[in-house]
Structure 1
Amino acid sequence: MIGFYDYTVILTYISFASSISGIFLATRGHFNWAIFCLAFSGLCDMFDGKIARTKKNRTEDEKRFGIQIDSLCDVVCFGVFPIVLCYELGMTHFYSIPILIFYGLAGVIRLGYFNVMEEKRQNETSENRKYYQGLPITSMSVALPLLFVFAPLCRGYFLIWLHLLVLAVGVLFITDFRFRKPTNKELAVLVAVVGVAVLRGLLIWKGGRTI
């Protein structure tokens, strides 16, 4: 079989499977489980790079494959999946569709640029990345669950905040600024925050179509 098969890409594939499942759940109106799948995909992505770097004897082809497969899966997990989820949540108006298209396109542009620059960086140094250029596309796996956490405070304006969130995140994908890569402690906090969001969804929303 073509491809590279080892433990370094397992979390990436699990993240992909979770997002595909989330897409199916979102189209059936099970938003609580869909947001769980989005958050779970994000958690997998937070640690897949750390796991990949534990294999010290990776060939150059394996490294390049890892970069490509990670970004290709990210397009689905944090590009297509959030678009479907937000559409099912109510972003169906004539002004909503351009925002969703822009979000998806900005994500693809960001990932394409990241692939080029990351391969160049790895050819120049073996040091771990300390900063990102622009907001990582995986940020939506934290931002959207957090919006759900504060949904009761929106008082009927959830869809407005949802539109603003998608637009803002899309803009930040392609904005040229330095975003510091989270430390292990900060990742632990993110995991806890997303976990609370997911738990709230599973216990309260009960799969309904309204927020």
Structure 2
Amino acid sequence: MIGFYNYTVILTYISFISAVAGIFSAAAMQLRWAIFFLAFSGFCDMFDGKIARMKKDRTEDEKSFGIQIDSLCDMVCFGALPIIICYRLGMDRIYGMAILALYGLAGLIRLGYFNVMEAKRQAEDGGARKYYQGLPITSMAIALPVLFVISPLFPSHLAFVVVLHIVVGLVGFLFVLNFKVRKPSVKEVLLIVGVVAFAVAVIVFAWRSWWELVNSRG
């Protein structure tokens, strides 16, 4: 079979399968599970590069394949899946769909640019990146679960949808804005994982209780 199937790409493949499950969930209006699969894909993406670099004898073909497959997977996980989720959450008017289309386009441009520059960087100095150029596309795997879990705090669903439009448009714009973002340290990564894991746990396991608590206080 063509392709590579060693442990350096296994998390990328798992991330893709998770995104497909998320797409099915969103299509069936199982939005809590769609958010879960989005966050799980983000979790896999946080560690796939670290695992790949553990293999010191990677060939140039394996390195190049890793760059390409990672971006292709990211376009599905953090491009297509969030678009479908947000459409189902209420971005189903023409202006909302326009924002989602531009979000997807910004992600596509960012990933294509990343592939070109990352291949060039690895050829020159190799090693792990210290900075991101522009906001990483995986950021939506953090922003959307957190926004979803605080959605009961909004005064109305309309208010939540308005904020959702703003967040999606802003995140998409930051994908292609030329600025540097320092890669998070191990402690910062663990903190991010903890926050998103908590949000996802609330969404999946305690959503009804969370709604009742908020409504009782309102």
| TM-score, normalised relative to structure 2 | 0.93
Give the aligned partner of residue 163 of structure 1: 165
Q: Give the aligned partner of residue 176 of structure 1.
A: 178
2:27 alignment counterpart = 27
What's the secondary structure of 2:42's corresponding residue? helix
How far, CA to CA, are the matches of 1:32 and 1:128 in structure 2?
A: 34
SS in 2 for 1:171: helix
- Name the aligned partner's letter for residue 60 of structure 1: E
Query: Equivalences for 1:117-156 in 2 at 5 Å?
Result: 117-156=117-156
Q: CA deviation digits over 1:105-154, x for unaligned, max 9?
A: 00000000000000000011023210010000000000001101221222
In the alignment, is residue 50 of structure 1 matched against residue 19 of structure 2?
no
Match in the other structure for 1:209: none
SS at match of 2:132: strand
Q: Which consecutive aligned stretches of 4+ in structure 1 deviate over 3 angstroms post-superposition?
A: none
SS of corresponding position for 1:2: coil
After superposition, where does 1:1-211 map in structure 2 within 5 Å? 1-156=1-156, 157-205=159-207
2:187 maps to amino acid: K
- In 2, Cα distance between equivalents of 1:29 and 1:5: 33
Paired-residue identity, %? 63
Distance 1:150 1:199 in 2: 13
Amino acid at match of 2:193: V
Please list every run of 5 or more consecutive structure 1 residues that lacks an aligned counterpart in the other structure: 207-211
Alpha-carbon offset, residue 205 of structure 1: 3.4
Letter in 2 for 1:153: L
Q: Distance in 1 between matches of 2:207 and 2:87?
A: 18
Q: Give the distance between the partners of 2:58 and 2:100, measured in 1 at CA.
A: 37
Q: Say which is worse superposed, 144-153 or 17-26, in terms of deviation.
A: 144-153
TM-score, with structure 1 as normaliser: 0.96
Aligned AA for 1:178? K
Hey, what's the Cα distance between the residues in 2 that align with 1:48 and 1:29? Answer: 29
Q: Letter of the 2:202 partner, please give it.
A: R
SS in 2 for 1:95: helix
Deviation of the 1:203 alpha carbon: 2.3
Shift in Å at residue 204 of structure 1? 3.4
Structure 2 alignment gaps of length 5 or more:
209-218
Q: CA deviation at 1:50?
A: 0.2
Q: How many residues align?
A: 206
CA distance in 1, matches of 2:127, 2:4: 23
More moved, 145-154 vs 127-136: 145-154
What is the RMSD of the two structures over their aligned residues, measured on CA atoms? 0.9
Aligned equivalents of 1:144, 1:113: Cα separation in 2: 24
Q: Helix, strand or coil: the match of 1:5?
A: coil
Q: What secondary structure does 2:184 align onto?
A: coil
Question: Matched residues in 1 for 2:141 and 2:106: separation?
Answer: 16
